[in-house]
């Protein structure tokens, strides 16, 4: 019985759609191997080159490579002077990193609700929460759709505080012709395995402010007065001074070896994502039970995630059962995000209740992220969309249901 089960499992396997598969070329593999042979593995010339090209790509004056976006957010906050007694406004509808870094900086995250169409933080809610203790606002471009920067920028400017963009999803996005990476005082990107550009793990902070860039660069490697790679290269000096109690957040040349060719084909990767998202829109557009991802005039979406929301009133099953049906059809999905205020740590430490942020709470119950990545074929997208249609048709309310 066991044996026949294995054999019969084989066929559907062929139509399995994983939630994510990275896109890595042979050229990228060769670049990493060459770096291994080069004798220089950690932060060095390739990292510097990657920073320069990345800054040019987004149109920012400075880019500092780090070992994660989380490290980038932390250092963006520290460089902004955020510390004990301060508050930082963060949307509840986001990943852990956007708020935990505020806590690591010694400050208090003040959560706010989202806009129901975009899932991005609501600027009206930000304005309500601003107090004399507010030191910064962290905006998150959910799924890759830029926040409402035209509304957000004057609010932080009036307050004289920093706007920090958690752009983990938004590499390649733009707002009114300006790339994400130039829309806030500091922007943090992620090169985690599933993100639009990957170096396995990694991150980048961009800014036009030289002082902030230098501070972040210094803090990223123990607060040492000169980069280690300059000390150890031929003719480098052994001498250094500690100018701060820094961190160990530096990026490596092994990562840069992967990042450089990934950046060179980012436009192609983004075009592939966009084409697949358009195909999803077309295949799902006539289902009233499914709300498609929002798009906004003047904003270019990075299509990191394709998040649909179920109109639960029109269905006999809930989101979890819907995901179960997709899993049975061998389709990998995820939920972005469980709002921070629903997690035990935030509930217990800050006393949040589920109904404190009704928009985030409601959307969380409806959200499903469908697979979307450049290695997907059009047939794979059609298979996923077809499965969504089949489930909707099976469980939709007819008349009184």
Ligand X SMILES: *Cc1c(COP(=O)(O)O)cnc(C)c1O
Instruction: By CB under 6 A, name the binding residues for ligand X.
Output: 68-70, 94-95, 97-98, 140, 166, 168-169, 190, 192, 203
Inter-residue contact 291 to 308 (CB < 8 Å): yes
Inter-residue contact 202 to 259 (CB < 8 Å): yes
Residue 36: in which H helix or E strand, if any? helix 26-38
Give min distance, CB of 169 to ligand X, in A: 6
Give min distance, CB of 142 to ligand X, in A: 7
Strands 108-112 and 87-91: parallel
Say how many residues make up the chain. 401
Inter-residue contact 168 to 189 (CB < 8 Å): yes
Give min distance, CB of 67 to ligand X, in A: 8
Nearest to ligand X of 95, 280 (CB atom): 95
| Catalytic residue from among 46, 108, 195, 215 | 195
Inter-residue contact 242 to 224 (CB < 8 Å): yes
Inter-residue contact 203 to 68 (CB < 8 Å): yes
Nearest to ligand X of 93, 229 (CB atom): 93
195 is annotated as an active-site residue: yes
Residues 6 or more apart in contact with residue 243 via CB below 8 angstroms: 218, 223, 224, 225
Give the three-state DSSP class for 55: helix
CA gap 199, 190 in Å, rounded: 9
CA gap 220, 75 in Å, rounded: 8
Nearest to ligand X of 43, 68 (CB atom): 68
Nearest to ligand X of 197, 392 (CB atom): 197
Nearest to ligand X of 67, 217 (CB atom): 67
Give min distance, CB of 177 to ligand X, in A: 24
Inter-residue contact 60 to 52 (CB < 8 Å): no
Give min distance, CB of 26 to ligand X, in A: 25
Give min distance, CB of 165 to ligand X, in A: 10
Strands 290-291 and 203-207: unpaired
As annotated, the active-site residues are: 195
């Amino acid at each position: 019985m066991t044996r026949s089960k294995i054999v019969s499992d084989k066929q559907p396997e062929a139509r399995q759609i994983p939630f994510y598969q990275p896109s890595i070329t042979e050229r990228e593999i060769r670049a990493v191997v060459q770096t291994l042979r080069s004798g220089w593995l950690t932060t060095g010339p390739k990292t510097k080159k990657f920073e320069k090209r990345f800054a040019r790509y987004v149109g920012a004056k400075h880019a500092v490579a780090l070992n994660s976006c989380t490290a980038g957010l932390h250092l963006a906050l520290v460089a902004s002077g955020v510390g004990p007694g301060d508050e930082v406004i963060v949307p509840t509808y986001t990943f852990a990193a956007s708020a935990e870094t505020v806590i690591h900086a010694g400050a208090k995250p003040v959560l706010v609700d989202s806009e129901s169409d975009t899932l991005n933080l609501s600027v009206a809610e930000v304005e309500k929460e601003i107090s004399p203790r507010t030191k910064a606002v962290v905006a998150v471009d959910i799924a890759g759709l830029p926040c409402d920067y035209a509304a957000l920028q004057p609010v932080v400017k009036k307050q004289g505080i920093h706007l920090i963009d958690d752009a983990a999803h938004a590499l390649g996005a733009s707002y009114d012709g300006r790339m994400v990476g130039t829309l806030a005082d500091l922007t943090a990107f992620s090169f985690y395995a599933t993100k639009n550009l990957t170096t396995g793990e990694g991150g980048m902070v961009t800014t036009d402010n030289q002082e902030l860039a230098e501070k972040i660069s210094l803090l990223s490697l123990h607060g040492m007065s000169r980069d280690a790679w300059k000390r150890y290269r031929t003719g480098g000096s052994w001498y250094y001074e500690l100018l701060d109690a820094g961190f160990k957040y530096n990026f490596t040349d092994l990562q840069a070896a992967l990042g450089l060719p990934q950046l060179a084909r980012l436009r192609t990767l983004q075009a592939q994502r966009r084409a697949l998202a358009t195909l999803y829109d077309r295949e799902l557009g006539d289902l009233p039970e499914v709300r498609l991802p929002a798009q906004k005039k003047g904003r270019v979406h990075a299509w990191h995630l394709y998040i649909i929301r179920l109109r639960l009133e029109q269905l006999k099953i809930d989101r979890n059962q819907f995901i179960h049906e997709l899993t049975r059809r061998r389709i990998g999905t995820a939920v972005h995000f469980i709002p921070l205020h629903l997690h035990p740590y935030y509930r217990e430490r800050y006393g949040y209740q589920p109904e404190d942020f009704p928009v985030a709470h409601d959307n969380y119950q409806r959200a499903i992220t469908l697979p979307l990545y450049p290695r997907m074929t059009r047939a794979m997208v059609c298979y996923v969309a077809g499965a969504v249609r089949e489930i909707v048709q099976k469980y939709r309310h007819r008349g009184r249901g």
